[in-house]
Amino acid sequence: MASHPTANTPAGNLRSGARLALVGMVVNFILASAKIAAGLLGNSYVLIADGIESGLDIAGSAIIWGGLKLAARPPDETHPYGHGKAEPVAAIVVSLGVLAAALGLAGRSAYEIFQPHHSPKSFTLIVLVAVVVVKELLYRAVIRFGRNIESTAVQTDAWHHRTDALTSIAAFIGISIALIGGPAWQSADAWAALFACALIGANGYRLLKPSLQEIMDTAPRGKIVERVCAAAANVPGVLNVEKCLVRKMGLSFYVDLHVGVKETISVRDGHTIAHAVKDAIRRTDARIADVLVHVEPAA
């Protein structure tokens, strides 16, 4: 039977995700320092706000890194199903942090709109162009990996990079308007910061929803359930498949299903069929950690 394209083990994918989060932490530190310094020297509040948001991303990436490292631990006596839930929990913590940061920065941005402004310096635009390029490239690399392994936490980290790129674009527009429009448009810098906060908040909400769904054991999306049912139905001796339930635990999946067999077979034969079903299902996807098969007499 053909295997699913994802051949890496969940633990290996979690470790790779943790390494990506570590790279993100280093990049965010460099960019946050550059943006805050440029904002202070270049009289740009939106750039300072953008730098603070990047600084918060460092904490977010650290939480993602810690969550993925914990999720990669093998099952033990107190966690027989493994530590996979640490992955969506980390994503939830980071998403709530993003929402809190958006509210705090929005309040400060609104205050700055009504304060006296100095015209921002033109060199701040060069900093922002560099940030957008770096962050967009990082987003594409991380989101590709996160989608491939279906990691909520890794995808959350990726969208942090995309949000940073978007807020930097908003900052670029605001500073450009302030430079072109002159003194009458100097508050455009703060208005851009407020718009950036709206983007950050919207992204925080977008990231929170799938993490909560995973914590609540929402049925996984995609064709994994169809593949599981098809694999079980193709096992010799299986007459029908019912109640095929799949839940996601970190990067692993756990399957619970009922299979119908002839009511005249022995308990030993039923046990053999159940093991064959389990093996067939696990061959379809390396991420399936365990399968619980209920054998019932077919009607």
CATH of the domain at 258: 3.30.70.1350
User: What mean pLDDT, rounded, does the chain reach?
Assistant: 81
Three-class SS state of 218: coil
**164 part of a folded domain:** yes
Return the pLDDT at 278: 93
Return the pLDDT at 6: 42
**248 part of a folded domain:** yes
Asked whether residue 235 carries a pLDDT value surpassing 60, the answer given is yes
**Single-letter residue type at 235:** V
Domain boundary among 159, 186, 215: 215
Closest CA to 101 of 155, 60, 68, 136: 60
Structure tokens at 111: 């205050």
How far apart CA 106 and CA 54 sit, in angstroms, is 15
Structure tokens at 262: 């002839």
The crossing angle, in degrees rounded to 10, of helices 123-149 and 45-71 is 20
Q: CB-side exposure of 266: number of CA atoms within 13 Å?
A: 3
Return the pLDDT at 231: 93
pLDDT 10s digits, 117-161: 666 778 888 888 988 899 899 889 888 888 887 777 788 778 878
Return the pLDDT at 11: 66
Closest CA to 200 of 243, 247, 260, 160: 160
Return the pLDDT at 281: 93
How far apart CA 275 and CA 278 sit, in angstroms, is 5
In degrees and rounded to multiples of 5, residue 18 shows phi and psi of -65, -40
Asked whether residue 219 carries a pLDDT value surpassing 70, the answer given is yes
How far apart CA 259 and CA 262 sit, in angstroms, is 10
Give the percent of the chain with pLDDT over 90: 16
Return the pLDDT at 4: 43
Same domain, 199 and 57: yes
**33 part of a folded domain:** yes
Asked whether residue 227 carries a pLDDT value surpassing 80, the answer given is yes
- Which residue range forms the structural domain that includes residue 131? 10-215
**2 part of a folded domain:** no
Domain boundary among 197, 215, 233: 215
| Top-confidence residue, 3 or 58 | 58
pLDDT 10s digits, 80-98: 888 888 888 888 888 888 7
3-state SS record for 23-73: HHHHHHHHHHHHHHHHHHHCCCHHHHHHHHHHHHHHHHHHHHHHHHHHHCC
Whether the CB-CB separation of 89 and 250 falls below 8 Å is answered with: no
pLDDT 10s digits, 134-146: 989 988 988 888 8
pLDDT bracket for residue 222 (50, 70, 90):
low
Q: Write the CATH number for 61.
A: 1.20.1510.10
Return the pLDDT at 7: 47
Domain boundary among 161, 195, 215: 215
pLDDT 10s digits, 167-189: 788 778 877 887 787 766 767 76
Same domain, 157 and 87: yes
How far apart CA 196 and CA 75 sit, in angstroms, is 42
Asked whether residue 23 carries a pLDDT value surpassing 90, the answer given is no
pLDDT bracket for residue 107 (50, 70, 90):
confident
Structure tokens at 45: 């509040």
Structure tokens at 44: 């740009």
Q: How many domains does the chain have?
A: 2
Asked whether residue 37 carries a pLDDT value surpassing 80, the answer given is yes
Asked whether residue 33 carries a pLDDT value surpassing 70, the answer given is yes
Give every strand in the sheet of 240-249, ordered side by side: 240-249, 252-261, 288-297
Query: Residue 294 forms beta bridges with which residues?
Result: 258
